[in-house]
Amino acid sequence: MARAVSSFKSGDQLSKRSIIAWRTVQFALWLAGATILSCLLFIPATGTLLFWNILIPLAPLIFVVAPGVWRNVCPLGTTVLLPRHLGLTRKKRLTVSQSSKLNLAAVIALFVIVPLRHAVFNNSGHATAALIIGLAITGIIFSYFYEWKSAWCSGLCPVHPVEKLYGGNALMSVPNAHCSQCRNCVVPCPDSAVNINAVADAKTRYQQISALLITGGLPGFIWGWFHVPDENSISSLQTFLAVYKMPMTGFAISLLLYVLLQKNIPELYKRTLHNIFAAAGVSFYYWYRIPSLFGFGQFGKDGLLVNLQPFLPAWSMIAIGACTTAFFIYWLLVRKPNNGSWLVRPAYSKAA
């Protein structure tokens, strides 16, 4: 695996050993994903704990530090790309305009789906399983028609906008363990762009709107999301819509702030502004999520993994929050840009 990670440059072919190593990890993670999905269906309490309180809380940290590794081993990505690996897809090319529209749809899907966690998903293994299966079927259909990651992993997947926002300074570039040859199917390819920046890499109008919504809106949206309790039963449309109120209020405030700042700072500082909002988003997430995982959340057992209240003082959560915030500020704002991409672009296909 060492060769699979280090000293790999654009156009290099993965050795047989590296391919076997990556396929082994992909299969292990896919198996773990399938196990969680089975738990969601058959032992829902365990499934929701594994999915919402272990896997999902790790995701933002992975997107910041090692987005390329995640892009290689994400179980949903592996499922969606399996038909392409087997040569069973139609390999069509999306136009830049079509792929930009998919990016915007992904951002909208993210902001629609995430508040529904409070209304439905956090307390229902079956609903969560239906969501995952629905996303997988959609991804497979899109990837059946369109080349490699263009339609799903770099297109309509609702997690992708978050990867793009947080993943601007990855620890290292790793080889691309999915695309055997580059068909230039998505421009710019988020896997192959150096120090990806949701705003700077947005060229078309749809890409610019997507970048604005995710960069400006996500920090406030996250803040608002953590101020809503989980509903055990949705009794009316009003209760249902209430789960959107705080996240969308936070979204609107931070988006407004972002737009005002962006319009009034020199071009030179726009990347820094993007990184400040990225750091704010991920820092808010862990500021609230870690206390709720360990029994210090403001809504009782919402999001609880293990109750450490009897063993830890309340100030320990503030100390941990300060450390995670300092870490993300360092990583996204202070640390030197790595001048690398998430993944090393494979050799171009002659047909590209």
By the rule CB under 6 A, 189 interacts with ligand SF4: yes
Work out whether 100 is an interface residue with ligand SF4 (CB under 6 A). no
Considering only 184, 208, 262, 316, the residue that binds ligand SF4 (CB under 6 A) is 184
Applying CB under 6 A, among 21, 102, 162, 186 the residue interacting with ligand SF4 is 186
Among 146, 161, 73, 64, smallest CA distance to 111 is for 161
The reply on whether position 193 binds ligand SF4 by CB under 6 A is no
The CA distance from 203 to 250, in Å, is: 27
In the complex, minimum distance from the CB of residue 148 to ligand SF4, in angstroms, rounded to a whole number: 4
- What is the Cα gyration radius of the chain? 20
Residue 148 in contact with ligand SF4, rule: CB under 6 A? yes
Tell me how far apart the alpha carbons of residues 212 and 258 are, in angstroms, rounded to a whole number: 8
Q: Least distance to ligand SF4 from the beta carbon of 63, Å?
A: 17
Q: Would you say 148 or 331 has its CB closer to ligand SF4?
A: 148
Give the one residue of 191, 250, 281, 287 binding ligand SF4; rule: CB under 6 A: 191
Position among 101, 117, 118, 149 found at the interface with ligand SF4 (CB under 6 A): 149
Two tokens, residue 12: 């290099």
Burial of 329 (0-12, 13-18, 19+ CB in 10 A): middle
Segment lying near ligand SF4 (by CB under 6 A), choices 125-133, 180-188, 212-220, 235-243: 180-188
- How many chain residues are in contact with ligand SF4, going by CB under 6 A? 15
Contact yes or no for 286/256 (Cβ under 8 A): no
In the complex, minimum distance from the CB of residue 348 to ligand SF4, in angstroms, rounded to a whole number: 8
**Minimum CB distance to ligand SF4 smaller for 77 or for 295:** 77
330-349 positions binding ligand SF4, by CB under 6 A: 345
Triad 172, 36, 291: Cα angle to 5°:
70
Cα–Cα distance between 218 and 251 in angstroms, integer?
Answer: 6
71 binds ligand SF4 (CB under 6 A): no
Residue 148's region, left for phi above 0, alpha for psi from -120 to 50, else beta, is left
Q: What is the dihedral of CA 231, 233, 237, 241, to 10 degrees?
A: 20
| Backbone CA torsion sign across 219, 220, 222, 223 | positive
Q: Which stretch binds ligand SF4 (CB under 6 A): 10-18, 85-93, 137-145, 182-190?
A: 182-190
Residue closer to ligand SF4 (CB basis): 186 or 246: 186
Binding status of residue 182 toward ligand SF4 by CB under 6 A: yes
Where is 131: in which H helix or E strand? helix 125-145
Q: How far is the CB of 82 from ligand SF4 (least distance, A)?
A: 15
Task: Using CB under 6 A, list all residues that contact ligand SF4.
Answer: 148-150, 154, 176, 179, 182-186, 189, 191-192, 345
